[in-house]
Amino acid sequence: RKEVEQDPGPFNVPEGATVAFNCTYSNSASQSFFWYRQDCRKEPKLLMSVYSSGNEDGRFTAQLNRASQYISLLIRDSKLSDSATYLCVVNYIGNQFYFGTGTSLTVIP
Amino acid sequence: EAGVAQSPRYKIIEKRQSVAFWCNPISGHATLYWYQQILGQGPKLLIQFQNNGVVDDSQLPKDRFSAERLKGVDSTLKIQPAKLEDSAVYLCASSLGTGNTDTQYFGPGTRLTVL
């Protein structure tokens, strides 16, 4: 079983739509959680950390459910510039970082 | 602020040849990571350094891969000999500290093709 699992998509949504991605992790001892964004043929960049209480950054909302071991990312009012691959990242004790395979999003005009 | 630098950006070699990649992290960053990203997959951690010591190399194929960070700054990753399945993008990242909440900053990567 993979440490971190994501639906690879692709998700094709119209501009202005709301889209949600989920990610599940296998190790209940996981400590930290992140969403990274990766544009085509570019390096990953941190989008946001995910906190237990949930957190919001503009149009982006991240949620953590420790009991069910999943993380979610909600994007509201999608923009063309949101088109990218979104990577779920989980950190275990000892600083081992595990990346999911990524979820591909294309926002259509 | 200068980002993480990597070279070369692209490399094409034949199987059984050797190859080396170089990474210069952001100035002052204590932790350096090497990742392998195969097409269609997420990055996989190969090795993590804190200053010049190895923190985690559990997923590094040590029979053919080696890495060093001798002075706690620059790092090199070597593959010897390369196999077809080593074709991937090799990403270097750095973070300021060693906390598990630290942001990792990635370099542009080295795209390796093994023929």
The answer to whether A72 faces chain B, any CB pair under 8 Å, is no
Residue type, B9: R
- Provide the shortest C-alpha distance from residue B22 to chain A (in Å): 16
- pLDDT given for residue B71 in this prediction: 87
Contacts 24+ apart (CB under 8 A), A3-7: A3/A27, A3/A90, A3/A98, A4/A88, A4/A89, A4/A90, A4/A98, A4/A99, A4/A100, A4/B42, A5/A100, A5/A101, A6/A87, A6/A88, A6/A100, A6/A101, A6/A102, A6/A103, A7/A103
Supply B63's token pair: 């029979």
Find, among A34, A103, A23, the residue nearest to A69 by Cα: A23
* CA B25 – CA B35 distance, rounded (Å): 14
pLDDT digits (tens, 9 = 90+) for A60-109: 999 999 999 999 999 999 999 999 999 999 987 666 789 999 999 999 99
- pLDDT given for residue B52 in this prediction: 85
Asked if B104's CB is within 8 angstroms of A99's CB, the reply is: no
Q: What's the pLDDT band for A52 if we cut at 50, 70, 90?
A: confident
- pLDDT given for residue A63 in this prediction: 95
What's the mean pLDDT in A12-17?
97
- pLDDT given for residue A35 in this prediction: 96
SS3 content of chain B, % helix, strand, coil (to 5): 5, 50, 50
- Provide the shortest C-alpha distance from residue A23 to chain B (in Å): 13
Asked if B109's CB is within 8 angstroms of A95's CB, the reply is: no
pLDDT digits (tens, 9 = 90+) for B12-33: 999 999 999 999 999 999 999 9
Between the alpha carbon of residue B104 and those of residues A11, A63, B92, B97, the distances in Å are 26, 21, 10, 10
Asked if B98's CB is within 8 angstroms of A87's CB, the reply is: no
| CB atoms closer than 10 angstroms to residue A73 | 22
Can you say how many angstroms the Cα of residue A101 is from the centroid of all Cα atoms in its chain? Answer: 10
Rounded to the nearest integer, the mean pLDDT of chain A is 92
Residue type, B23: C
Q: What's the pLDDT band for A36 if we cut at 50, 70, 90?
A: very high
- Provide the shortest C-alpha distance from residue A101 to chain B (in Å): 4
To which residue do tokens 């998509």 refer?
Answer: A9
pLDDT digits (tens, 9 = 90+) for B34-63: 999 999 999 999 999 998 899 889 999 999
The answer to whether B90 faces chain A, any CB pair under 8 Å, is no
Looking at the predicted structure, is the pLDDT value of residue A3 above 90?
A: no
Find, among B26, B24, B27, B46, the residue nearest to B90 by Cα: B46
pLDDT digits (tens, 9 = 90+) for A20-33: 999 999 988 888 89
Return the SS3 of B25.
Answer: coil
To which residue do tokens 């400590």 refer?
Answer: A31
